[in-house]
């Protein structure tokens, strides 16, 4: 665990470096990426079929992969529990940064 006081984040820009530090394990990042990709696939299936039941799988897919990464590989508590909105934004910012090659997968 880091020594950062997590109640001190006033903006997402302040939070994101902390978020990245909580995802230093490569397997954890890969699981996050897989969960986000799966969530996007489920949204696409919904868009094609129009069946809203597919949307129920979106958070399940995203969080299941991420939490496995944290509990078994990163060995820390997901930021979702302390900062749910910043964490959600962080998931997609990290996904973007992985896609752009800014973060190694």
Kindly report, residue by residue over 69-95, the tens digit of the pLDDT: 999 999 999 989 899 999 999 999 999
Query: Whose structure tokens read 């909580």?
Result: 22
Give residue 1's pLDDT.
46
What pTM was estimated for this model as a whole?
0.88
Coil, strand, or helix at residue 25?
coil
Kindly report, residue by residue over 16-38, the tens digit of the pLDDT: 999 999 999 999 999 999 999 99
> Angle of helix 26-49 relative to helix 53-68, nearest 10 degrees?
180
DSSP states of 49-103: H--THHHHHHHHHHHHHHHHIIIIII-S--GGGT-HHHHHHHHHHHHHHHHTTSS
Residue 55 near residue 43, CB atoms below 8 Å: yes
Query: Whose structure tokens read 């508590």?
Result: 77
């Amino acid at each position: 665990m880091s020594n950062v006081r997590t109640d001190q984040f006033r903006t997402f820009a302040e939070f994101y470096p902390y978020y990245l530090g909580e995802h230093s394990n490569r397997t954890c990042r890969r699981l996050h990426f897989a969960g986000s990709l799966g969530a996007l696939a489920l949204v696409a299936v919904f868009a094609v079929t129009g069946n809203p039941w597919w949307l129920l799988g979106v958070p399940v897919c995203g969080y299941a992969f991420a939490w496995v990464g944290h509990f078994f590989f990163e060995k820390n508590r997901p930021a979702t529990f302390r900062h749910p909105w910043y964490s959600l934004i962080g998931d997609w910012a990290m996904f973007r940064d992985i896609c752009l090659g800014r973060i190694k997968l």
